[in-house]
């Protein structure tokens, strides 16, 4: 056990050593790209070191573990915001136990997973800031119970086969031990991660098993999250073309309710209900009151009797679950702090697969790691925006200079103001955008020296020029960029952007959001700091569950507020 922990930790240590050596001989690299040729070979460098270190470390470990008196020292990561990344010297002082707890994100992750198949699981805790938010013990126990359920009911188990068999009878039964919710992908990577986490929470609340209908561009992006099983729906699943279910589907819950084909009557037996129902939560659900019934309590008595649910959404519908009294008690035990629901769920579910992790690590260590502070700026351009790229860049500079996120430059030549560069520390600006334009502008802005003589480097890992929805390599780069952003100390993200929501929740950082306007070229203020981290539910329901009619009043609730970036959206607050 201890050896395993150590082994997983070693590559990181070696990174540090390599960086240390590398740092002495390296000039700041200006251009950056995932595809850039490496100037040195990381693997060639560490191979001989690895053997030596392994032996040394084993020896250290025997010494350490035989000394029960050595009290676990305080956490290494008690840094201030400007203090930069995970500090190297602090690490060596932690006991293996507390270190392995860090790696499991305060017990959020199961200790039973194989770490070699998923490097990020054990390493990301070392690069991201330690979360100041601990998962509740109740959430942790729910997750462990869920993992056991998933293992019992996972694909190709006896119980799974039995449930699949039930599909052929066209009706549900209460005889089954395993009931399922199948998630189907829709929209870009950010949307998918938000809906998958929402669906997973629904599974946790309803005792269902989550299976994922893998689109071809989604394979291997993430590690399998549940030990000893898979979350991928087997390809021989009897219902075909799951992604073709839509707003008009006759098997949708809305359609069945509208046409009185099923009843909310609590006396309804399982046998009177179909074996399979489709829940339509794509943004278009808002136009049909019957689809919106999903956000009314009565529906969940009926739905709980149906063996299989298929769910499709492009919306972070999770806050809607908090509006149901059915789940209120469970949710408040699982999440005493509502502002960190997605923060915990995303860190639990989404461990980037090895190829994405390697892509991110390579870039990070080649360019970003040496800076004292990293500022991540994520810029999403929406087609409806009236702003030109120049307007947008001006908005970014307005925001970051005003909020003291980035330093001013001097009008004089480079020679003038050199105060104490070391004391100021250096800054890396990570520009994440589909376009090269913003990077070019930022770089030419910081070609001048800064007022205070601080060193600023600008990086952009990729610029794909257009979003592609069905391209694995494109998605891998996008996820690697989310990972890189999540290592930032300070984040500036874009209004409306699900990619941004995911990045700052991974990071556990409250960002400044660059506001957008659909009616104006100018935005005042240029940005706003979010008050809570949880993402925005862009299209919340507008239904009065008592009258089953459209409700004109805005959703209110003690724990719900309007989003900073989307007027009609809602988010969770404490
Ligand atoms: C490491 O721990 C030892 C004893 O626990 C302490 O004396 C030393 O100052 C610590 N070093 C750092 C860098 O915190
Ligand atoms: C479940 O069914 C699949 C084929 O559909 C089969 O390969 C597998 O062995 C079955 N599992 C059990 C435990 O019988
Ligand atoms: C289930 O429904 C399908 C399509 O509606 C039908 O073809 C099939 O015969 C039904 N099976 C049973 C067992 O009723
Ligand atoms: C910035 O990092 C360098 C090298 O890691 C270090 O020598 C310096 O003290 C750091 N400066 C600040 C302000 O943290
Ligand atoms: C997928 O995206 C990559 C860049 O990320 C691009 O090089 C490749 O041509 C794309 N493939 C297709 C089929 O569009």
Residue 69: CB atoms within 10 A of its CB come to 4
Ligand closest to 76 (CA) is 1
pLDDT at site 419: 56
> What is the sign, positive or negative, of the torsion defined by CA atoms of 554, 555, 561, 566?
negative
Residue to probe by mutation, ligand 1, list 69, 70, 73, most atoms within 8 Å of CB: 73
Cα(11)–Cα(121) distance, integer angstroms: 13
Alpha-carbon distance of 306 to 429, in angstroms, equals 50
Query: Coil, strand or helix: which one is 549?
Result: strand
Instruction: Compute the distance from residue 570 Cα to the ligand 4 centre, in Å.
Output: 41
| Residue 422 Cα to ligand 4 middle (Å) | 6
Which is the closest atom of ligand 3 to the Cα of 170? 1
Predicted confidence at residue 21, as pLDDT, reads: 38
For position 420, what pLDDT does the model report? 59
pLDDT the model gives residue 130? 80
DSSP state of 540: -
Q: Give the residue, out of 156, 158, 234, with the most ligand 2 atoms within 8 A of its beta carbon, to mutate for a pocket test.
A: 156
Separation CA 562–CA 550 (nearest Å): 19
Q: Closest ligand 3 atom to the C-alpha of 169?
A: 13
Per-residue pLDDT, 28: 39
Q: Cα(165) to centroid of ligand 3, in Å?
A: 13
Give nearest CA residue, ligand 2 atom 7: 156
Residue 91: nearest ligand to its CA?
1
Residuewise pLDDT in 10s, the chain (574 residues):
444 443 444 443 344 433 433 333 333 344 456 755 444 444 444 444 444 444 444 444 433 433 333 333 332 332 222 222 222 333 333 434 444 556 677 778 887 777 778 899 888 888 888 888 889 999 999 999 999 999 999 999 999 999 999 999 989 998 899 999 999 999 999 999 999 999 999 999 999 999 999 766 776 799 999 999 999 999 999 998 888 999 999 999 999 999 999 988 878 888 899 999 999 999 999 999 999 999 999 999 999 999 999 999 999 999 999 999 999 999 999 999 999 999 999 999 999 999 999 999 999 999 999 999 999 999 999 888 889 999 999 999 999 999 999 999 987 655 545 555 566 789 999 999 999 999 999 999 999 888 877 889 999 998 888 888 778 888 999 999 999 999 999 999 999 999 999 999 999 999 999 999 888 888 889 999 999 999 999 999 999 888 888 886 666 667 889 999 999 999 999 8
Which domains can be identified in the chain, with CATH numbers?
2-126 (no CATH), 137-349 (no CATH), 354-530 (3.40.50.11350)
Burial call 73-100: b when 16+ CB within 10 Å, e when fewer: eeebbeeeeeebbbeeeebeebebeebb
What does the chain come to in residues?
A: 574
The reported pLDDT for the residue numbered 105 is 73
Looking at the DSSP bridge assignments, the partners of residue 310 are 182, 278
Residue 374: strand, helix, or coil: strand
Which residue is closest in CA terms to ligand 1's atom 9?
93
139 CB contacts (<8 Å, ≥6 apart)?
A: 108, 334, 335, 344
Please tell me the predicted confidence (pLDDT) of residue 100: 57
Whose atoms come closest to the Cα of 465: which ligand?
Answer: 5
pLDDT of 537 reads 96
- Ligand 2 pocket by C-beta < 6 Å: which residues? 156-158, 161, 236
């Amino acid at each position: 056990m201890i050896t395993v922990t150590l082994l997983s930790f070693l590559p990181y240590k070696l990174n540090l050593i390599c960086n240390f050596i590398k740092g002495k001989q390296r000039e700041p690299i200006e251009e950056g790209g995932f595809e850039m040729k490496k100037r040195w070979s990381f693997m060639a460098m560490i191979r001989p070191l690895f053997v030596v270190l392994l032996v040394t470390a084993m020896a250290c470990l025997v010494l350490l573990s035989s000394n029960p008196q050595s009290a676990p020292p305080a956490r290494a990561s008690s840094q201030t915001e400007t203090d930069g990344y995970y500090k190297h010297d602090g690490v060596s002082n932690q006991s293996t136990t507390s270190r392995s707890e860090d790696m499991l994100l305060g017990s959020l992750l199961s200790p039973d997973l194989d770490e070699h198949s998923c490097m990020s699981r054990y390493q990301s805790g070392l690069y991201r800031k330690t979360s100041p938010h601990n998962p509740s013990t109740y959430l942790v126990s729910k997750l462990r119970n869920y993992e056991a359920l998933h293992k019992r009911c996972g694909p190709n188990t006896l119980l799974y086969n039995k449930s699949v068999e039930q599909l052929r009878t066209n009706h549900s039964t209460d005889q089954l031990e395993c009931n399922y919710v199948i998630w189907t992908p829709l929209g870009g990577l950010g949307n998918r991660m938000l809906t998958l986490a929402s669906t997973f929470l629904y599974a946790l609340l309803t005792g269902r098993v989550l299976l994922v209908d893998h689109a071809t561009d989604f394979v291997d992006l993430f590690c399998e999250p549940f030990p000893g099983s898979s979350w991928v729906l087997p390809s021989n699943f009897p219902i075909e073309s799951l992604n073709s279910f839509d707003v008009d589907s006759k098997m949708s819950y809305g359609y069945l309710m509208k046409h009185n084909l099923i009843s909310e009557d609590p006396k309804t037996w399982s046998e009177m209900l179909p074996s399979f129902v489709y829940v339509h939560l794509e943004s278009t659900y808002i136009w049909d009151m019957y689809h919106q019934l999903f956000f009314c309590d009565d529906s969940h008595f009926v739905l709980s009797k149906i063996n299989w649910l298929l769910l499709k959404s492009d919306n972070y519908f999770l806050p809607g679950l908090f509006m149901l009294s059915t789940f209120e008690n469970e949710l408040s035990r699982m999440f005493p702090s509502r502002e960190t629901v997605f923060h915990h769920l995303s860190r639990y579910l989404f461990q980037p697969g090895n190829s994405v992790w390697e892509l991110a690590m390579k870039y990070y260590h080649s360019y970003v790691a040496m800076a004292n502070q990293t500022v991540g700026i994520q810029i999403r351009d929406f087609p409806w925006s009236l702003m030109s790229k120049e307007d947008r860049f001006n908005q970014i500079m307005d925001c970051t200079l005003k909020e003291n996120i980035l330093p001013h430059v001097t009008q004089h030549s480079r020679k003038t103001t050199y105060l104490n560069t070391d004391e100021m520390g250096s800054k890396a600006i990570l520009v994440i955008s589909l376009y090269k334009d913003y990077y070019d502008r930022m770089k030419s802005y910081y070609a001048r020296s800064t007022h205070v003589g601080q060193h600023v480097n600008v990086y952009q890992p990729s610029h794909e020029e257009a979003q592609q929805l069905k391209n694995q390599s494109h998605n891998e780069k996008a996820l690697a960029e989310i990972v890189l952003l999540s290592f930032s100390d300070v984040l500036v993200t874009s209004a409306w952007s699900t990619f941004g929501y995911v990045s700052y929740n991974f990071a556990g950082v409250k960002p400044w959001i660059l506001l957008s306007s659909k009616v104006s070229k100018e935005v005042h203020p240029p940005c706003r700091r979010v008050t809570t981290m949880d993402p925005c539910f862009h299209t919340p329901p507008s239904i009065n569950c008592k009258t089953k009619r459209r409700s004109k009043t805005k959703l209110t609730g003690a724990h719900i507020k309007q989003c900073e970036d989307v007027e009609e959206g809602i988010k969770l607050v404490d």
